Structure 1
Amino acid sequence: MSAPVSSPLPAGSPHKPLLWLVSLAIFMQMLDSTIVNTALPAMARSLGESPLQMQSVVFSYALAVASFIPASGWIADRFGTRRTFLAAIVLFTLGSLACALSPTLRWLVAARVLQGIGGAMLLPVGRLAVMRSVPRAQFLSAMSFIAIPALIGPLLGPTLGGWLVEAASWHWIFLINLPIGLIGLGAAMRIMPDHYGLRRQRFDLAGYLMLAFGMIALSLALDGASGFDSAHALALLLAVIGVAALAGYWLHAAGRADALFPLSLFQVGSYRIGILGNLFSRIGSGAMPLLIPLLLQVGLGMSPMAAGMMMIPVALAGMAAKRLAVLLVERFGYRRTLMVNTVCVGLAMASFVFVTAHQPLPLRLLQLALFGAVNSMQFTVMNTVTLRDLDMDQASSGNSLLSMVMMLATGFGAATAGSLLSAFGNHLGAHGDGATAALHATFVCVGAITLSSTLVFWQLPENRPHPRAVEEVAE
């Protein structure tokens, strides 16, 4: 999908305050999505839980975001971007406070859901306000500006989370959002414009409920698969109900022109393949931010701070690899690049089976950097191939569905990793060498899941785009 060349934003642009505000909101959300991972073992000790069964803290947030993204655009059109954005900041900040005050894992999961509802509206509504405020000639420059926090947040998150756990307690990884949220709330009341939809459209409530219920049921089924006996029966029941709800939405959307996500999107071959490839490839990628800190802390005995710093090579290599993705697609095309890179990502995940306490530090850093590089290239090329052939009428709903699938797959990944860890832990042990062996086995499994997505990308036609078509689609 190409776009006209964008002129840079002038130094004194009246839109700069809005861009800084949206950037702050994106930074707060991206920081929160990564800062939690290095704190999970400390949370587990504080709440009396096993560190191998803390995946619900991660997947509940991702699932809440995925479930509410489809409604965020309609809410902003109906109630205005200003009120919706203010409500999103308030919900996210209150959710952060509730997380810090949670006495049990169940309370923490419920608070993460509240956080996720606010987070689901922060990024889409902020981006929508920018789209409707900034002149089209400066739109690409504006989007590039607000994309920077999406790169910085994952870079700082794990290290900051580890430092806060050591210097204070895990509660501060949520309390740190309070001053940021208050600053953002005060700034939004003065800066955020109040845009409404050009035309009132009735919300497809029936379709939304079927879609959201299907996603939630399947996610809970994946998480419940770690149990035994009656829990297995409940997981199977949830899986069947979830599939039925999604099938019901498919039939519902087929007969409506105002469906949340019209089925005409799937008539575009590259979009159809890209969405399915994103879903299956990101399950493995969604598991890694949970698994790597657990391996470093539970398996190797590293401190939270040291484990967080070990994630820096992943983020730095990911940022550096964005340009390489453009060159590879220009040279070899989407199909070959994605098929080869997907294999590299799967093997990089499985290679963590060789991470031990005796592994030389330079080799460990190189392994983390290589994973970060190929994983980042995977995201860049997958997103580009998904959106490139959509026309203007399909761009908004197509991008929203992609955002929903990305968060849903992240939740699926965390739930799958937790279920695998629980299953392997029951056989190999949940402590000491048994926990390390369970983690190693889980890395192999999520690598295999990622490798399976090559069967989806195999269906892509051979073609080579103009490099700008890759550069202009951000993660």
Structure 2
Amino acid sequence: MQLVQKAFIIPFIVACAMFIEAVDANIVVTALPSIARDFGRDPVALQIAVTSYVVGLGVFIPICGWMADRFGARRIFGTAIGLFIVASLLCAVAQSLAMLTVARFIQGIGGAMMVPVGRILIFRAMPRHELVRAMNYISLPALLGPAFGPLLGGFLTTYLHWRLVFLINLPIGLYGVWLTRRFIPYTREAHPGRLDWTGFVLSAIGGAVLLLGLSLIGGALVPTRYALVLCAIGATMVGSYVFYARRVALPLLDLRFFRIPTFQASVLGGSLFRIGLGAWPFLLPLSMQEAHGMTAFQAGGIACGSAVGGMFMKSLAPRALRRFGFRTTLLYNAAFAGVAIAICGLLFPGTPVWLIWLVVLLGGFFPALQFTGLNTLAYAEIKSTEVGRATSLASVVQQLSLGLGVTIAGMVVQATRALHGSATLGWEDFAPAYFVVGLFSLMSIPVTRRLAPGTGDDIARGHRAKE
């Protein structure tokens, strides 16, 4: 039983948790127009439900490792699943956008703890020679979630009710809690050290307040002046953290990593790219329903095309990086991805479905290659002893940039519609948003150009040696 537990049960438990998190991050986008109608809100205002989840996910990632060491990885992992399913139930019974926003933020906190702590459980429980097999198990949810989520969400919304989108998390989550208590051993570190609470409050909470404030501008949830006050408070806290981090030896998020060229290109340049790609899952199902007149299920079928393109590229990415090198690949591929996103703004109502699906497929193909290159390059010059701290910084910036993408896309759609003076959303309201977020992908190119020719070639040769 011990062999089965280590070889299958623990990776299976972690994979199930990661699957519901990956699905939930993508399942709600196809339901947004239906939720908006039930709440009597504008569909674009529902961007806050997407942003609040990403913010909750991003800001709590840096302290998950410390919490697992301090209170025990099994306890934190089980608590995270429990928090996630309670928040899912709150989402399902939400009667207002404000309640849904709070519940989605709590969901994000649970998801933030599930994924990194799940990896900690595997690394601590699995023998070294079983790690590759275990990591293969938990890599599947990341691939299947973006494909399965929009399709399932669209089906439930079209043929049943949008509230079921959240209720399907409950049986899987409850089973995961039972499995966690039954099969995962309890471990904890004797001396996890002191957490940088000042850094956490200034950076994480400041970033969350700033991003949520931006999401509320022009919406109907709070007056715009209150949203601007939140933005000012968040910006002040983030600015204070920059000053604070320079004076502390080991800050929670060490900004000194940005001095490393490869890390800077991967995280800062990559975040500009992620702003464009963060808007993609929000804009696509919404525009397909509001501008093209599709059902939620049809829109979900279109949206999953990007995940199919991403899965196909996964097998080709190492070859492309070996053939052209990291710098060249990232430069040209950023342009291809930006153009693929912008083209969606040209897909007017009546465009053949097969052509839309082909464009969306390419819209997932190029970003998958970009993410593979960016995520690999981030650690090219990072010392092994500093990987954990570098990962915390990269994860927070990446998640917040995805949320910022949703926010910017929503603001552009709202501004365009205001200029047109239309009460309903049309194709002409979404086109500029696609162009703007596609432009962000192109804006990452100057950052990548700073890399020296040949950067990362030793990593590419390492891929070849392994094969």
Report how far residue 431 of structure 1 moved: 4.8
Q: Residue 38 of structure 1: which of 27, 30, 39 is its match?
A: 30
Q: Which amino acid letter does the alignment assign opposite residue 218 of structure 1?
A: L
Alignment-mate amino acid for residue 446 of structure 2: L
Cα deviation code 1:423-468 (max 9, x no counterpart): 1121224555x53211111111111122111111111222223447
- Cα distance in 1, alignment partners of residues 230 and 241 from structure 2: 16
TM-score (norm 1): 0.92
CA displacement at 1:234 relative to structure 2: 4.6
Matched, 1:435 2:426: yes
Counterpart CA distance in 2 for 1:469 and 1:311 is 35
C-alpha change, 1:96 and 1:133, in structure 2 (3 Å) is same
The correspondence for 1:451, drawn from 422, 442, 448, is 442
Q: Note the C-alpha offset of 1:105.
A: 0.5
Matched, 1:78 2:70: yes
Alignment partner of 1:465 is 2:461: no
Q: Name the residue aligned to 1:369.
A: 361
Alpha-carbon contact 1:52-1:421 (below 8 Å) kept: yes
- Counterpart pick for 1:129 among 121, 137, 143: 121
Runs of 4+ in 1 over 6 A off after TM superposition: none
Decide whether the 8 Å contact of 2:254 with 2:393 is kept in 1.
Answer: no
Letter in 2 for 1:460: L
Q: What CA deviation, in whole Å up to 9, does each residue of 1:35-72 have, x standing for no partner?
A: 00100011111111111221001000000111111121
- CA–CA distance in 2 between the matches of 1:12 and 1:101? 39
Structure 1 pair 249–471 and aligned structure 2 pair: CA distance change class (3 A): farther
Are the aligned partners of 2:325 and 2:460 in contact in 1 as well (CA < 8 Å)?
no
- Secondary structure class of the residue paired with 1:375: helix
Match of 1:218 among 177, 193, 210: 210
Contact 2:306–2:365 (8 Å) recurs in 1: yes
Distance 2:319 2:276 in 1: 25
- Calculate the TM-score normalised by the size of structure 2: 0.93
Residues 380 and 470 in structure 1, CA contact (< 8 A), matched pair in contact too: no
On the 8 A contact 1:384/1:470 being kept in 2, the answer is: no
Confirm or deny: 8 A CA contact 1:28 1:177 kept in the other structure.
yes
5+ residue gaps in structure 2? none
1:97-118 deviation digits (Å, cap 9, x = unpaired): 0000000111110111111111
Q: Name the amino acid aligned to 2:351.
A: Q
Match for residue 320 of structure 1?
Answer: 312
Q: What aligned pairs does 1:5-154 form with structure 2 within 5 A after superposition?
A: 12=4, 14-154=6-146
CA contact (8 A) 1:333 1:465 kept: no
Change (3 A) 1:194 1:471: farther
For 1:458 and 1:82, locate their aligned partners in 2 and report how far apart those are by CA, in whole Å: 44
2:275/2:440 contact within 8 Å kept: yes
| Other structure's SS at 2:250 match | coil
Measured in 2, the distance between the counterparts of 1:254 and 1:63 equals: 24
> Measured at CA, do residues 219 and 154 of structure 1 come closer, stay the same or move farther in structure 2, by a change above 3 Å?
same
Structure 1 residues 371-414: Cα deviation after superposition (integer angstroms, max 9, x where no partner): 11011111111111112221211111212222222221121111
Give the number of equivalent residue pairs: 461
In the TM superposition, 1:144-183 aligns within 5 A as: 144-183=136-175
1:206 and 2:198 correspond: yes
Output the aligned Cα RMSD. Answer: 2.2
> Residue by residue, what CA displacement relative to the aligned partner does 1:193-247 show, whole Å, maximum 9, x if unpaired?
322235331111001000013212320232234369x955555544443333223
Label 1:194 to 1:429 Cα distance change in 2 as closer, same or farther (>3 A).
Answer: farther
Q: In the aligned structure 2, how far is the partner of 1:202 from the partner of 1:321?
A: 42
User: Which residue identity lines up with residue 124 of structure 1 in the other structure?
Assistant: P
Letter in 1 for 2:445: T
What amino acid sits opposite 1:446 in the alignment?
A: V
Bigger mean CA deviation after superposition, 322-331 or 94-103: 322-331
Q: Counterpart of 2:337?
A: 345
Q: Distance in 2 between matches of 1:181 and 1:430?
A: 43
CA distance in 1 between partners of 2:422 and 2:62 (Å):
38
SS of 2:452's partner is coil
Distance 2:287 2:464 in 1: 34
CA distance in 2, matches of 1:431, 1:335: 46
SS in 1 for 2:35: helix
Residue type of the partner of 2:448?
Answer: F
Alignment of 1:233-248 (within 5 A): 233-248=225-240
